[in-house]
Chain A
């Protein structure tokens, strides 16, 4: 069947198989930042934003995304300028192998849009579903806290 998907502001007409998941369709369209790690809604690596809210694309039917705005991490950098969360990850070493980063960055972006000054507790809670096996989480939590500090937010030490 044919489907219309709006990804990062671009409209794609795409042929999909019945029951195909959004993850597979996005990767086929070239959005390789959407990563499959578990394929059963338990790691967060395949997170994309659907109308600004994080969803797991490995268990979301592609068909469900029609008529909604999908964002992947490819949309965060604009004209060579990184999103603050990306910049901050580079500084704190929050991207080791980097495989988990797209899911992490999108979830963090959604969190910051909803709650610009999250406490460490709130950060941990919001990102609990995004597994990372490399970093021990600390550098990624620091990456978010540093942005809020820069904005003059509360210190959470």
Chain B
């Protein structure tokens, strides 16, 4: 695509780059019954799981006799009732890069909360009572609760089942391993003026989406197994269910209605196998809804990671070497183990593309804790905390402004990094040049908004309180290149409206709206003429699902292609109808118009003729898209904190984030993604701390003990978008959903240092820890 075309396109947007209201907006603000658990299915059984109370144990015996006597209890299933098929819940494309180390029910349990038996009853109350009445006898095993002990000699082996496939080294609890090196680390280090090595540790985080996971399954009147589920990946869910229960893919239908937030937490196949098992056994509809403690401790959490980073640079701050060695905690199962680990490098290291040598290596280990999985940012925030803060430390030790060092070493438009090719997700990546990058503009705007030059290094004091500022820059991707596929079907109606059928999964992100805007832009109609129906495996074409920041870029390109095909067909038909050569015709304002004669026909007139009287044909098209590249969005963030030196209390005075997401197709929705991700990052940095008991039980499994940010918990939040134009994206767009969560932890850590001189290298940051560090500094 030429630059001239880009500029032309930029100037004549009719439907994209506009903050139109969401297509599902009215149903959401009026409280319509649109979520999974709002669907009334007559006669549905209530399904609940008996869960392990031990972190690591073998089930000796399960006695269901008392439970089955409870009135209303219909069936109880244990591992003996289900086929023993190893799989991964991860919900990824096929073949999955995660190990097959999970069974729907197993005779071994690997964390507190692991499913032991499925109870189905006529009422919720009966199901709850039955769960308590099932007697399970365990042989308790030693557990691994500290991920740094997982590979030690005498650690118990968590996955000793012979059927597991794809575990890197089960005998040492290593789920996955990765290493790569470019250039010569040791030689290049020798030529550096300054070398520092630091270790940064990021603890886990809960998704804490407001809607608890829910699934309903039933046989429809034609005998088709139908699953309504709060899933981010309906097509992967269908494929996985097919394999687990040996039902042909075409005989299963998965429908995703509205979802009350996902953030990666609804990517894994958490509930579907349990309701389906009950429906298959009883031939009755089944419904399962998690309660809040289950959402917290028995779905997925974020991978806890620890990185030791060595950075070497010249005395004027040119970074020549980056070496990151990491350890990641995947918990009881290896969902997304390898891929999140690789993303911690692949979505951070290319930022600093001027290095001569770079290495990234480490292990992802099993522990007897809740299983980690996909979570917004997907490893990148953990990697960035370590990398950004080490660079911050290095800059300060060299007596340089850390923002200058980050700025001058970071990637710019037209540049590339060898990392793009070497590190993909679970396999090699794809070579790419950064075609759009307005990182500098993001930095400049953020810097002005926070008042960097006036505040940096000043330690402004007010009584016992002292202020400081910190910065961090980040990048992410837009889908997984050469792997993620999205598809869209568009068909024309006789009134000039269009049905857009999409595999893509709107999680509340507004993607249904954005897809309608893309189709409307191509077809030159107002976006409300595009009627979107998404995420139903029987009715919509395939899509990998909503993850890896892929929807706008991958599914959006599919929509654009499908719309162009439909437009072409409309023009062909109009050419016959108007008796004008095709090249004289263009579409405009829901009409086909001749640029030569001015003759025109409305979509409505043409559509009606095509249905009933003239050259009869249903105009429709399906298009698919797989990204050749994964263009990164960019972000610059700044934090201002105030620390009370007498208590260690950290107040976030202001947080500023400016992002380059290409053309924001719907600026209000794009900004909402940035604000929401930023707030999740702020919560993780300052409040969201998961704590386990000595027995491995998650103690912070509700909103009292696990505090997510509320409206009084932050000062000012300023987010903004800087327009760029990504030539490979639909109308210049890149992704925006994840990147905002990458920077709050490092930016806040750097600000705390700027205020106090204390380096906190373990996140989240708490006042007690900071207070004791402040005391040490003073001594």
Query: A interface vs B, CB < 8 Å?
Result: 32-33, 35-40, 42-43, 45, 72-74, 76-77, 82, 86, 89-93, 95-102, 105, 123-125, 127-139, 141
| CA of A42 to CA of B707, assembled, Å | 10
**What is the CB-to-nearest-CB distance from A133 to chain B, in angstroms, rounded to a whole number?**
5
Judged by a CB distance under 8 angstroms, whether B675 is at the interface is: yes
The answer to whether B672 touches A139, judged by C-beta atoms less than 8 angstroms apart, is: yes
Q: Which residues of A contact B263 (CB under 8 A)?
A: 133
**What is the CB-to-nearest-CB distance from B432 to chain A, in angstroms, rounded to a whole number?**
30
The answer to whether A133 touches B25, judged by C-beta atoms less than 8 angstroms apart, is: no
Q: Which residues of A contact B208 (CB under 8 A)?
A: 133
Q: Which residues of A contact B507 (CB under 8 A)?
A: 97
| CA of A132 to CA of B28, assembled, Å | 14
The answer to whether B210 touches A93, judged by C-beta atoms less than 8 angstroms apart, is: no
| CA of A92 to CA of B510, assembled, Å | 13
Judged by a CB distance under 8 angstroms, whether B703 is at the interface is: yes
| CA of A90 to CA of B513, assembled, Å | 12
- A86-B30, A135-B675 known, 14 other contacts, Cβ within 8 Å: A32-B33, A39-B291, A42-B704, A45-B210, A72-B31, A99-B35, A99-B210, A124-B711, A131-B703, A133-B207, A136-B676, A136-B679, A137-B679, A139-B675
Question: Within B1-45, which residues are at the interface with A (CB < 8 Å)?
Answer: 19, 21-22, 24-35, 38
- Residue of A35, A37, A90, A98 most packed against chain B (CB within 10 A): A98
The answer to whether B26 touches A90, judged by C-beta atoms less than 8 angstroms apart, is: yes
| CA of A91 to CA of B510, assembled, Å | 13
Q: A97-B210, A97-B211, A136-B717 are in contact. Are A131 and B31 (CB under 8 A)?
A: no
Judged by a CB distance under 8 angstroms, whether B185 is at the interface is: no
Q: Which residues of B contact A123 (CB under 8 A)?
A: 711
Q: A37-B210, A37-B211 are in contact. Are A82 and B30 (CB under 8 A)?
A: yes
Judged by a CB distance under 8 angstroms, whether B209 is at the interface is: yes
19 CB-based A-B contacts, threshold 8 Å: A32-B31, A35-B210, A42-B703, A86-B30, A96-B509, A97-B209, A97-B258, A98-B260, A99-B209, A101-B29, A105-B31, A131-B708, A133-B210, A133-B680, A135-B672, A136-B678, A136-B680, A136-B719, A137-B711
Of A74, A76, A93, A105, the contact of B672 (CB 8 Å cutoff): A93
Q: Which residues of B contact A137 (CB under 8 A)?
A: 675, 679, 709, 711, 717
Q: Which residues of A contact B212 (CB under 8 A)?
A: 36-37
| CA of A125 to CA of B676, assembled, Å | 19
The answer to whether B719 touches A138, judged by C-beta atoms less than 8 angstroms apart, is: yes
The answer to whether B508 touches A90, judged by C-beta atoms less than 8 angstroms apart, is: no
Q: Which residues of B contact A97 (CB under 8 A)?
A: 28, 209-211, 258-261, 507-508
Q: A129-B710, A133-B208, A136-B678 are in contact. Are A33 and B32 (CB under 8 A)?
A: yes
| CA of A40 to CA of B212, assembled, Å | 14
- Residue of B29, B34, B211, B680 most packed against chain A (CB within 10 A): B29
Judged by a CB distance under 8 angstroms, whether B712 is at the interface is: yes
| CA of A13 to CA of B434, assembled, Å | 65
Q: A33-B32, A98-B258 are in contact. Are A133 and B209 (CB under 8 A)?
A: yes
The answer to whether A82 touches B29, judged by C-beta atoms less than 8 angstroms apart, is: yes
- The residue on A at minimum CB distance from B673 is A96
| CA of A36 to CA of B212, assembled, Å | 8
Of B21, B25, B675, the contact of A138 (CB 8 Å cutoff): B675
Q: Which residues of B contact A42 (CB under 8 A)?
A: 702-704
- Residue of A76, A90, A127 most packed against chain B (CB within 10 A): A90
The answer to whether A105 touches B211, judged by C-beta atoms less than 8 angstroms apart, is: no
The answer to whether A93 touches B510, judged by C-beta atoms less than 8 angstroms apart, is: yes
| CA of A157 to CA of B682, assembled, Å | 22
**What is the CB-to-nearest-CB distance from A19 to chain B, in angstroms, rounded to a whole number?**
11
Judged by a CB distance under 8 angstroms, whether B671 is at the interface is: yes
**What is the CB-to-nearest-CB distance from A80 to chain B, in angstroms, rounded to a whole number?**
10
**What is the CB-to-nearest-CB distance from B42 to chain A, in angstroms, rounded to a whole number?**
14
The answer to whether B209 touches A33, judged by C-beta atoms less than 8 angstroms apart, is: no
- The residue on B at minimum CB distance from A135 is B676
Q: A133-B263, A137-B679 are in contact. Are A74 and B210 (CB under 8 A)?
A: no
Of A38, A39, A105, the contact of B29 (CB 8 Å cutoff): A105
**What is the CB-to-nearest-CB distance from A108 to chain B, in angstroms, rounded to a whole number?**
11
**What is the CB-to-nearest-CB distance from B226 to chain A, in angstroms, rounded to a whole number?**
20
Q: Which residues of A contact B668 (CB under 8 A)?
A: 91-93, 139
Judged by a CB distance under 8 angstroms, whether B756 is at the interface is: no
| CA of A92 to CA of B667, assembled, Å | 10
Judged by a CB distance under 8 angstroms, whether B669 is at the interface is: yes
The answer to whether B711 touches A73, judged by C-beta atoms less than 8 angstroms apart, is: no
The answer to whether A93 touches B19, judged by C-beta atoms less than 8 angstroms apart, is: yes
What does the 1/0 interface line of B713-725 toward A look like (CB < 8 Å)? Answer: 0000101000000
The answer to whether B30 touches A99, judged by C-beta atoms less than 8 angstroms apart, is: no
| CA of A105 to CA of B28, assembled, Å | 11
The answer to whether B22 touches A90, judged by C-beta atoms less than 8 angstroms apart, is: yes
Among all A-B residue pairs, the 8 with the closest Cβ atoms: A33-B31, A97-B508, A98-B28, A99-B260, A136-B675, A136-B679, A32-B33, A42-B703
Q: Which residues of A contact B209 (CB under 8 A)?
A: 97, 99, 133
The answer to whether B675 touches A98, judged by C-beta atoms less than 8 angstroms apart, is: no
| CA of A96 to CA of B265, assembled, Å | 16
Q: Which residues of A contact B33 (CB under 8 A)?
A: 32-33
Question: Within B660-711, which residues are at the interface with A (CB < 8 Å)?
Answer: 668-669, 671-672, 674-680, 702-704, 708-711
The answer to whether B676 touches A127, judged by C-beta atoms less than 8 angstroms apart, is: no
Judged by a CB distance under 8 angstroms, whether B292 is at the interface is: yes
Q: Which residues of A contact B508 (CB under 8 A)?
A: 96-99, 134
Q: A93-B668, A98-B508, A136-B678 are in contact. Are A131 and B292 (CB under 8 A)?
A: no
What does the 1/0 interface line of B186-226 toward A look like (CB < 8 Å)? Answer: 00000000000000000000011111100000000000000
Q: Which residues of B contact A35 (CB under 8 A)?
A: 35, 210-211, 260
The answer to whether A134 touches B703, judged by C-beta atoms less than 8 angstroms apart, is: no
Q: Which residues of B contact A82 (CB under 8 A)?
A: 26, 29-30
The answer to whether A32 touches B38, judged by C-beta atoms less than 8 angstroms apart, is: yes
Question: Within B495-521, which residues are at the interface with A (CB < 8 Å)?
Answer: 507-510
The answer to whether A101 touches B704, judged by C-beta atoms less than 8 angstroms apart, is: no
- Residue of B22, B676, B711 most packed against chain A (CB within 10 A): B711
**What is the CB-to-nearest-CB distance from B247 to chain A, in angstroms, rounded to a whole number?**
30
The answer to whether B712 touches A125, judged by C-beta atoms less than 8 angstroms apart, is: yes
| CA of A81 to CA of B38, assembled, Å | 24
- The residue on B at minimum CB distance from A72 is B31
The answer to whether B672 touches A131, judged by C-beta atoms less than 8 angstroms apart, is: no
- The residue on A at minimum CB distance from B712 is A128
- The residue on A at minimum CB distance from B704 is A42
| CA of A116 to CA of B569, assembled, Å | 54
Q: A32-B38, A38-B702, A73-B30 are in contact. Are A93 and B671 (CB under 8 A)?
A: yes
Of B35, B261, B712, the contact of A133 (CB 8 Å cutoff): B261
The answer to whether B702 touches A100, judged by C-beta atoms less than 8 angstroms apart, is: no
Q: Which residues of A contact B677 (CB under 8 A)?
A: 136
Of B510, B678, B680, B702, the contact of A96 (CB 8 Å cutoff): B510
The answer to whether B210 touches A128, judged by C-beta atoms less than 8 angstroms apart, is: no
Of B21, B207, B291, B509, the contact of A90 (CB 8 Å cutoff): B21
**What is the CB-to-nearest-CB distance from B35 to chain A, in angstroms, rounded to a whole number?**
7
Q: Which residues of B contact A129 (CB under 8 A)?
A: 710
Q: Which residues of A contact B704 (CB under 8 A)?
A: 40, 42
| CA of A111 to CA of B288, assembled, Å | 36
Q: Which residues of B contact A92 (CB under 8 A)?
A: 668
Of B28, B30, B291, B680, the contact of A77 (CB 8 Å cutoff): B30
- The residue on B at minimum CB distance from A127 is B711
The answer to whether B710 touches A128, judged by C-beta atoms less than 8 angstroms apart, is: yes
Q: Which residues of B contact A127 (CB under 8 A)?
A: 711
| CA of A89 to CA of B22, assembled, Å | 10
The answer to whether A40 touches B702, judged by C-beta atoms less than 8 angstroms apart, is: yes
- The residue on B at minimum CB distance from A73 is B31
Q: A96-B676, A137-B711 are in contact. Are A131 and B29 (CB under 8 A)?
A: no
